[in-house]
Structure 1
Amino acid sequence: MTASARAEIVVDVAAIRHNVRRLRQLVTRPDGAAPACMAVVKADGYGHGMVPVAKAAREAGADWLGVATLEEAVALRDAGDTGPLLAWLAVPGEDHAPALERDVDVASYSLTQLTAIADAARRTGRTARVHLKIDTGLSRGGATRDDWPALVDASAALETTGAVEVVGIWSHLVASDEPDRTINDEQEQRFRDAASVAEAAGLRPRWRHLANSAAGLLRPSAHFDMVRFGIATYGLDPAPGETHDLGLVPAMTVQARLGMVKQVRAGDGVSYGHQWVADRDTLLGLVPAGYAEGIARAAGNRAEVWADDARRPVRGRICMDQFMIDLGPDSTLAAGDRVELFGTGHDGAPTAQDWAEACHTINYEIVTRIGGRFARVYVDSEVTQ
């Protein structure tokens, strides 16, 4: 831990590279071919830092990067990324021109959006590379099956003008982390049907992509031409309980220095509302981070941290800036000593998945929301070993 840090997020870019390489090894289609791999770096790289993660993923052979917003795509380009890049979320009134000028692929969900993309293409003098999205059952972004034929026909007409080129068709799965759900089969068939409609209209997209991390690991039939790896890129399991040992390494470790150590007596209550009352004399440690840093308030009395080579439980409610942990009556820890909230799981230490289970949420939320006043530090264990 850096000498001056109160609390920090340490991201090992070597873990990102390792995970991308490993995922490329794990994905093959039923025909034995290897689909392209997209590393999804939206939401500031799921809390890990978009630009450093993107660089590490490219170094490990990620064929594509994926982001949600146009601003994210522009920021990546302005940071020096030059490879295939898809941005898929925009609202009416947003200007696609800056992204098109930077050679970014964009998504279209509707005729209105397609028209806006084509207008931006004409203004920039470029042909917009477009991935049409079909809603196969998530009922979120994407054209409905009723609207799909019109979107396809309009795209084919715009291709003849040179304003757009449809290079992709894509969708998103409802329950890929629950492989036995019949909706997975239904969505895959709807996706195939949508691709057939596009082909009949004369479109010849190079990239068909449906699978996210969980489907990339559990559903080879959904791999098509590309798999979009989000949470798995960061070393976290996209389908806990369904996957075998994947060989992935969590890239994020969250740690802090104890602000103080104090003794409480049996019967003393701890933190707001006294939701925990000591049943024995013990020592408590103050961790100087709270829900302002994205630590879930739901973790109170549920999560554990790693301190003095053992798991130590959170005691009482998580506060805005701090929370308390039970060090046990015999602890020798002192103010300034390091504790680890979650990380790689070394020696049985807590992981983001452990915190997710404690908070009744998913590991995505744990790592993506963490931040606030945490310092973020990057290391490269492949270099420092």
Structure 2
Amino acid sequence: MLSSEQRTGVVDNQDCDTYNWFSQRAWVEIDLGALYNNVKQLLKLLSPHTQLMAVVKADAYGHGSVTVAKTVLEAGAKWLGVATVPEGIQLREGGIKAPILILGATHAPEQIQAIAHWQLQPTLCSPKQALVFSNTLEAIKYRSSMPVHIKLDTGMSRLGTNWQEAGEFVQLVQRLPGLAIASIYSHLATADSPDPTVMEQQQQRFEQAIDQIKARDINPPCLHLANSAATLVNPSLHYDIVRVGLAMYGLYPAPHLQNKINLQPVLQLKARITQVKAIAAGTGVSYGHDFIAKKEMRIAVVGIGYADGVPRHLSNKIQVLIRGQRVPQIGTITMDQLMLDVTSLPNLQEGEIVTLLGEQAKESISADDWANQLNTISWEILCGFKHRLPRIAVI
């Protein structure tokens, strides 16, 4: 299923691949078996003609893009989605040969030349952008037609040409030299909402746009609309490709979708205890002394902080797992370290592992737990872990 080099070791972090990861003060652990399982579970939701695009932008949501890409492609994904040209180049340099769609907008001639050189596939959002692409490809004497994907705005109010102008836009792209339409797509704004009203409106607009295109005797070769939430919600949204991000990494886009499929979290965040000490009642802990010990207690210092992606606003709000038991974080989270109340754990030693996100015994803490504390979303939590934390692939 997975190669030996994928099963364990430091991945996607060149600064850390020369020494044993067991010496690390903190790291992100990536369960490739869970990732593989999630892709297989998602594929079961799809009809045979619908393909899965694995969204691996933002370093695969902090999981390590090249290693994730290799695993999801082995599991059955056919496409990869990234946000920027450099993200696509990184995958190509990592040996990835699958089709890669750049979901963001690109305009500069040097970007277009890089797209051509690395055989990436761009998103076209406007007639002006399409003209720039065609003119640039003609100027560099590009010898074949570049596959391009037409983005329509059906209600997200972000990238894309207005859906009402779809027929005219697609006809222009079809006539421009050097461009070959690979797909028509749009993006849903509220697919994770229990109320499907806006999502259904967007789908109706998408369908009307496709009718406009077909009325001009243009038959789109491929259609896609669904993100993770829409993939879980309604098969009518699947079309030819689904673009899956969060669900692939084992998290649900919304609580009401948790019964749709059995997903396994892929990422765990771990660190080591660097010191254990006793403090007296009345002792302040960390900057600002936001925590004052009410009694004599034992605290542990852990080698991870906000410079690694543990939000400072979680100070005095979260728990971590040690020896399968929950213990509270105390005091202000600092740049490189945080403190725990470990009074309840006797004989705790320096070097023991602390799980900040993940499972120990029967206890678990998820990115959703942190997101709820911060009034944000789990996507932001996952993308926040910095690159000085090595990504360790395990199975």
For residues 142 and 290 of structure 1, the distance between their equivalents in structure 2, rounded to whole angstroms, comes to: 39
State the Cα distance separating 1:78 from its structure 2 match: 2.4
> One-letter code of the match for 2:104?
L
| Aligned counterpart in structure 2 of residue 318 of structure 1, from 321, 333, 342 | 333
State the Cα distance separating 1:345 from its structure 2 match: 6.8
Secondary structure of residue in 2 paired with 1:185: helix
| Aligned counterpart in structure 1 of residue 162 of structure 2, from 135, 144, 147 | 144
Alpha carbons 1:218, 1:243 under 8 Å: kept: no
Aligned runs of 1:1-385 on 2, under 5 Å?
2-28=21-47, 35-94=50-109, 95-122=111-138, 123=140, 124-145=142-163, 147-158=165-176, 161=177, 163-244=178-259, 246-344=261-359, 347-379=362-394, 381=395
> Structure 1, residues 205-231: CA drift from partner, whole Å, max 9, x if none?
222111100110012221111111101
Secondary structure of residue in 1 paired with 2:354: strand
> One-letter code of the match for 1:261?
V
Secondary structure of residue in 2 paired with 1:248: coil
Alpha carbons 1:38, 1:64 under 8 Å: kept: yes
For residues 246 and 332 of structure 1, the distance between their equivalents in structure 2, rounded to whole angstroms, comes to: 41
For residues 215 and 118 of structure 2, the distance between their equivalents in structure 1, rounded to whole angstroms, comes to: 31
For residues 69 and 346 of structure 1, the distance between their equivalents in structure 2, rounded to whole angstroms, comes to: 40
State the Cα distance separating 1:271 from its structure 2 match: 1.8
State the Cα distance separating 1:194 from its structure 2 match: 1.4
> Structure 1, residues 107-145: CA drift from partner, whole Å, max 9, x if none?
100112111222343322220111111111111111123
The 1:150–1:345 alpha-carbon spacing in structure 2 relative to 1, beyond 3 Å, is farther
State the Cα distance separating 1:314 from its structure 2 match: 1.4
For residues 377 and 272 of structure 1, the distance between their equivalents in structure 2, rounded to whole angstroms, comes to: 31
Alpha carbons 2:185, 2:225 under 8 Å: kept: yes
For residues 365 and 268 of structure 2, the distance between their equivalents in structure 1, rounded to whole angstroms, comes to: 10
> One-letter code of the match for 2:147?
R
For residues 360 and 246 of structure 2, the distance between their equivalents in structure 1, rounded to whole angstroms, comes to: 17
For residues 375 and 51 of structure 1, the distance between their equivalents in structure 2, rounded to whole angstroms, comes to: 14
Which stretch shows the higher mean deviation, 68-77 or 210-219?
A: 68-77
State the Cα distance separating 1:86 from its structure 2 match: 0.9
The 1:44–1:274 alpha-carbon spacing in structure 2 relative to 1, beyond 3 Å, is same
State the Cα distance separating 1:188 from its structure 2 match: 0.9
Q: TM-score, normalised by structure 2?
A: 0.89
The 1:356–1:34 alpha-carbon spacing in structure 2 relative to 1, beyond 3 Å, is farther
The 1:241–1:303 alpha-carbon spacing in structure 2 relative to 1, beyond 3 Å, is farther
User: Can you give the 5+ residue segments of structure 1 that lack an aligned partner in the other structure?
Assistant: none
User: Can you give the 5+ residue segments of structure 2 that lack an aligned partner in the other structure?
Assistant: 1-19
Provide the aligned length of Structure 1 versus Structure 2. 373
The 1:283–1:8 alpha-carbon spacing in structure 2 relative to 1, beyond 3 Å, is same
For residues 360 and 173 of structure 2, the distance between their equivalents in structure 1, rounded to whole angstroms, comes to: 48
> Structure 1, residues 60-104: CA drift from partner, whole Å, max 9, x if none?
010111111112112212221112221121343252222223332
Over aligned residues, Cα RMSD in angstroms? 1.9
State the Cα distance separating 1:152 from its structure 2 match: 2.0
State the Cα distance separating 1:232 from its structure 2 match: 1.1
The 1:113–1:184 alpha-carbon spacing in structure 2 relative to 1, beyond 3 Å, is same
Alpha carbons 2:230, 2:237 under 8 Å: kept: yes
The 1:134–1:302 alpha-carbon spacing in structure 2 relative to 1, beyond 3 Å, is same
The 1:288–1:47 alpha-carbon spacing in structure 2 relative to 1, beyond 3 Å, is same
